[in-house]
Amino acid sequence: MPVYDYECASCGAFEAVRRIAERDEHAACLLCGATAARVTIGAPSADDAGSYGMRHRGGCLCCR
Protein backbone atom coordinates (compact mmCIF):
# COMPACT_ATOMS: atom_id res chain seq x y z
CA MET A 1 0.00 0.00 0.00
CA PRO A 2 1.18 3.54 -0.68
CA VAL A 3 2.43 5.97 1.94
CA TYR A 4 0.81 9.42 2.16
CA ASP A 5 1.83 12.60 3.99
CA TYR A 6 -0.51 14.24 6.50
CA GLU A 7 -0.19 17.42 8.61
CA CYS A 8 -1.45 17.63 12.19
CA ALA A 9 -2.12 21.21 13.35
CA SER A 10 -0.55 20.45 16.75
CA CYS A 11 2.16 17.86 16.11
CA GLY A 12 3.28 18.50 12.54
CA ALA A 13 3.84 16.18 9.60
CA PHE A 14 3.52 12.39 9.65
CA GLU A 15 3.13 9.54 7.17
CA ALA A 16 0.38 6.95 6.97
CA VAL A 17 0.12 3.75 4.94
CA ARG A 18 -3.37 3.70 3.41
CA ARG A 19 -5.35 2.27 0.54
CA ILE A 20 -5.60 4.54 -2.49
CA ALA A 21 -9.36 4.85 -1.97
CA GLU A 22 -8.69 6.32 1.52
CA ARG A 23 -5.90 8.71 0.56
CA ASP A 24 -7.97 11.91 0.70
CA GLU A 25 -9.80 11.05 3.92
CA HIS A 26 -8.50 12.64 7.11
CA ALA A 27 -6.14 10.46 9.17
CA ALA A 28 -5.67 10.27 12.93
CA CYS A 29 -2.42 11.83 14.12
CA LEU A 30 -0.04 9.19 15.42
CA LEU A 31 0.90 11.30 18.47
CA CYS A 32 -2.27 13.02 19.65
CA GLY A 33 -5.07 11.29 17.71
CA ALA A 34 -6.45 14.52 16.21
CA THR A 35 -7.75 14.44 12.65
CA ALA A 36 -5.22 15.59 10.09
CA ALA A 37 -5.59 16.53 6.43
CA ARG A 38 -3.50 15.02 3.66
CA VAL A 39 -0.68 17.18 2.33
CA THR A 40 -0.83 17.47 -1.46
CA ILE A 41 1.72 19.07 -3.70
CA GLY A 42 0.57 20.20 -7.11
CA ALA A 43 2.69 19.64 -10.17
CA PRO A 44 3.74 22.74 -12.10
CA SER A 45 1.48 23.45 -15.02
CA ALA A 46 2.75 23.75 -18.56
CA ASP A 47 0.99 24.22 -21.87
CA ASP A 48 2.58 21.15 -23.43
CA ALA A 49 2.32 18.88 -20.41
CA GLY A 50 0.30 15.67 -20.35
CA SER A 51 -2.59 14.94 -18.03
CA TYR A 52 -0.29 14.26 -15.07
CA GLY A 53 1.81 17.40 -15.54
CA MET A 54 4.67 15.47 -17.14
CA ARG A 55 6.38 15.99 -20.44
CA HIS A 56 7.57 13.10 -22.57
CA ARG A 57 10.43 13.09 -25.02
CA GLY A 58 10.60 11.73 -28.52
CA GLY A 59 7.00 11.94 -29.71
CA CYS A 60 5.22 9.48 -27.43
CA LEU A 61 1.58 8.71 -28.17
CA CYS A 62 0.18 9.11 -24.65
CA CYS A 63 0.24 12.93 -24.59
CA ARG A 64 -1.20 13.61 -28.03
Tens digits of residue pLDDT in 11-31: 999 999 999 999 999 999 999
Write down the pLDDT at residue 5. Answer: 93
pTM over 0.75: no
pLDDT surpassing 60 at residue 46: no
User: What is the arrangement of strands in the sheet containing 12-17, beginning at the earlier edge strand?
Assistant: 12-17, 3-8, 35-38, 27-28
User: What is the rounded average pLDDT for all residues in the chain?
Assistant: 80
DSSP assignments along 16-41, one per residue: EE--GGGTTS-EE-TTT--EEEEP--
pLDDT surpassing 70 at residue 58: no
Return the amino acid letter for 5: D
